[in-house]
Amino acid sequence: MLKQRVITALILLPLVLAAIFYLPSPLFSLLVATVVMLAAFEWSRMMAVAGRHWQVAFMLLTVLAMVGLYVAGQGAQAEIVAITGLAVGVLWWALACLWVVVYPHGLSAGQVLAARKLVAGLVLLVPAWLAISLLHGWDGPGPALVLVLFVIVWAADIGAYFAGHGFGRVKLAPHISPGKTLEGAAGGLLAALLAGTAGGWLVGVEGVMLAWFAVLVLIVTLVSIVGDLTVSMFKRHSQVKDSGGLLPGHGGVLDRVDSLSAAAPVFVFGLELAGLVA
């Protein structure tokens, strides 16, 4: 499994780097939207809806939400739309943290749950697309900051994997993901803090702002863990091991973007509050 994960990562890494640094922002945003579409289709498997047409309908609804945000974000109201979209994402992940804590309560069967899953899928994916698109389009180090965001998530994942396998003893959320441990989470936090802060310094964040950036990296990493646990929670409730099988060794697209979906709106919202992006 580890060999497959490494091979897939080595194939995807140069493609991701090329997309970040060589695609113009509109095309990069479209590429990210395509990834979100695939993740939305996989999410629909966990919505307990019968029939492929309902799954396609949810994917199209996600596309309409992104198009609606893009259209609404043109003109004088662009900043309001951007901040509102990011705030919705941040609020959702704050609520998701509570949902993870109280699991399995709040995930009973029925139409109400199906509606919750529909809304959860939209607010899990669409604000992430908005955040990454906004960040990449920022004049100056926008693409570099997108890479820093990705590196934070990657470092947290790699650090948690090796720390968990080497030192993991105390279960982090046994009812949701029995394999994850507190020691693994601590290793992920440390790795992400070092890599993310170094990335911030390399793109020109200095002095007091670098200290704030380090705090933001810690917050973003914690939220990325919540993102991973949230998708795992829905998969466990729906009795789905992986969201898909598109990426050998990694599962589906959703399995690879769950942490990033949580991290992106929080990261960009934090940068906005600090005045580091416009």
The pLDDT, as a whole number, for residue 84 is 94
- Give the pLDDT confidence of 218-267 residue by residue, as tens digits: 999 999 999 999 998 888 877 777 666 565 545 688 988 999 999 999 99
Q: How far apart are CA 220 and CA 222, in angstroms?
A: 5
CB 226 within 8 A of CB 265: no
- Could you tell me the pLDDT band of residue 49, with boundaries at 50, 70 and 90? low
Model confidence pLDDT, tens digit, residues 71-117: 988 877 888 999 999 999 999 999 999 888 888 766 655 555 677 78
Q: What is the mean pLDDT of residues 7-29?
A: 92
* pLDDT over 70 (residue 175): yes
Q: How far apart are CA 215 and CA 48, in angstroms?
A: 39
% pLDDT > 90, the chain? 60
pLDDT single digits (tens) 190-205? 999 999 999 999 999 9
Q: Which residues 6+ apart lie within 8 Å of 131 measured at CB?
A: 85, 86, 89, 264, 265, 267, 268, 269
pLDDT of residue 102: 83
| pLDDT at site 195 | 97
Distance (Å, whole) CA 226 – CA 232: 10
What end-to-end distance do the CA atoms of the chain give, in Å? 42
- In this structure, the dihedral spanned by the alpha carbons of residues 165, 170, 174 and 177, taken in order and rounded to 10 degrees, is -30
What local confidence, expressed as pLDDT, does residue 235 receive?
A: 84
The residue range of the domain holding 269 is: 2-274
Nearest CA-CA partner of 81 in 93, 92, 94, 68 = 68
- Res 12 pLDDT > 70: yes
Average pLDDT of the chain?
Answer: 88
Length in residues, the chain: 278
Number of domains in the chain: 1
Highest mean pLDDT (candidates 144-148, 168-172, 256-260): 144-148
pLDDT bin (cut points 50, 70, 90) of residue 270 is very high
- pLDDT tens-place string over residues 28-41: 999 999 999 999 98
Instruction: Work out the pLDDT band at 162, boundaries 50, 70, 90.
Output: very high
Question: What's the pLDDT at 7?
Answer: 78
Give the 3-state secondary structure of the chain.
CHHHHHHHHHHHHHHHHHHHHHCCHHHHHHHHHHHHHHHHHHHHHHCCCCCHHHHHHHHHHHHHHHHHHHHHCCCCCHHHHHHHHHHHHHHHHHHHHHHHHHCCCCCCCCHHHHHHHHHHHHHHHHHHHHHHHHHHCCCCCHHHHHHHHHHHHHHHHHHHHHHHHHHCCCEEECCCEEEEEHHHHHHHHHHHHHHHHHHHHHCCCCHHHHHHHHHHHHHHHHHHHHHHHHHHHHHHHCCCCCCCCCECCCECHHHHHHHHHHHHHHHHHHHHHHCCCC
pLDDT at 25: 96
Does position 277 have pLDDT exceeding 80, yes or no?
no
Q: 0.95 exceeded by the pTM? A: no
Q: What is the mean pLDDT of residues 160-174?
A: 92
